[in-house]
Amino acid sequence: MSMSAALSSVTSVKVAVNGVHLHCLRTGGGEHAVLLLPGMLGSGETDFGPQIENLNKKLFTVVAWDPRGYGHSRPPDRDFPVEFFERDAKDAVDLMKMLKFKKVSLLGWSDGGITALIAAARYPSYINKMVIWGANAYVTDQDEEIYQGIRDVSKWSERTRKPLEALYGFDYFARTCEKWVDGIKQFKHLPDGNICRHLLPLVQCPTLIVHGEKDPLVPSFHADFIHKHVKGSRLHLMPEGKHNLHLRFADEFNKLVEDFLQ
């Protein structure tokens, strides 16, 4: 196999971590390890196609994981105890350590951005740099209304629904989305709707926050709050970006990320 063919191939790996078998996709042969963290109900394959395909494979080794209960990291079925983000953060870091990476950078989308923030705060010496988008550190009344609006997956657009339905089958997909809404609403009952605001001052790595100004799921005050409380962080606004800006504007996003990570 030629060197470039070897670099561009994507391998599927399952690793025993914290009592579950976690699935991930791995590509590239670069020095710099990068973990892609998907959003709610997400997986490497459904959430990060253009990143797995096009992030520079000479500079980076890219791993896209499926959190427990998502994608191909099943069984177990996904559940949402109040510490589910903390559990994902520990799983993600332990997975990368099992894969023998000495240090990693994190690219976290949506729920994966929350997981990345927690991982960076909890394991500062292990995290190199971090890019997050579509994340929030707390839950407000406005957020709760938005979540209520996505609870019933039969109301989702066909384009968003199709890949997840193909991955999970309708029943598991629908049931898990409802469970997610209940899971995320738990934070509403905590002081300040807190998910991870107390951890933001503990983040030490260089951090880039990207926000799509047309994101219908995450109001911009969330990006502003994270930017304000993660010291030295950079905030990059994409005026036309929605929640899936890394898919819709993949080339622009990938270039932004590569420049930041180097």
Q: Tens digit of pLDDT for each residue in 124-162?
A: 999 999 999 999 999 999 999 999 999 999 999 999 999
Q: What is the mean pLDDT of residues 167-178?
A: 98
Q: Which of 87, 21, 41, 30 is nearest to 63 (CA)?
A: 30
Interval 53-57 mean pLDDT:
98
For residue 183, pLDDT over 80 is answered with: yes
Specify whether 43 is catalytic. Answer: no
Residue 212's pLDDT is what?
98
The residue from 32, 211, 222, 243 that is catalytic is 243
Q: What is the mean pLDDT of the chain?
A: 97
Q: Is residue 2 pLDDT above 90, yes or no?
A: no
At residue 188, the pLDDT reads 96
Q: Would you state the pLDDT for residue 223?
A: 98
- Residue 24: what pLDDT? 98
Catalytic one among 215, 222, 233, 246? Answer: 215
The rounded distance, in Å, linking the Cα atoms of 42 and 176 is 11
Q: Which of 110, 111, 211, 246 is catalytic?
A: 110
Residue 59 has pLDDT above 70, yes or no: yes
**Does the active-site annotation cover 111?**
no
The mean-pLDDT minimum among 5-19, 71-85, 135-149, 179-193 falls in 5-19
Q: For residues 197-214, give the mean pLDDT.
A: 98
Compute the distance between CA of residue 253 and CA of residue 262 in angstroms, rounded to an integer. 14
At 1 the pLDDT is: 60
* DSSP per-residue letters across the chain: --HHHHHH-EEEEEEEETTEEEEEEEE---SEEEEEE--TT--HHHH-HHHHHHS-TTTEEEEEEE-TTSTT--SSPP---TTHHHHHHHHHHHHHHHTT-SSEEEEEETHHHHHHHHHHHH-TTTEEEEEEES--SB--HHHHHHHHHHS-GGGS-HHHHHHHHHHH-HHHHHHHHHHHHHHHHGGGGSGGGBSSGGGGGG--S-EEEEEETT-SSS-HHHHHHHHHHSTT-EEEEETT--TTHHHHTHHHHHHHHHHHH-
Could you report the per-residue pLDDT of 63-89, keeping only the tens digit for each?
A: 999 999 999 999 999 999 999 999 999
**Calpha distance 241→179 (Å, rounded):** 28
pLDDT at position 5 is: 78
| 221: confidence class by pLDDT, cuts 50, 70, 90 | very high
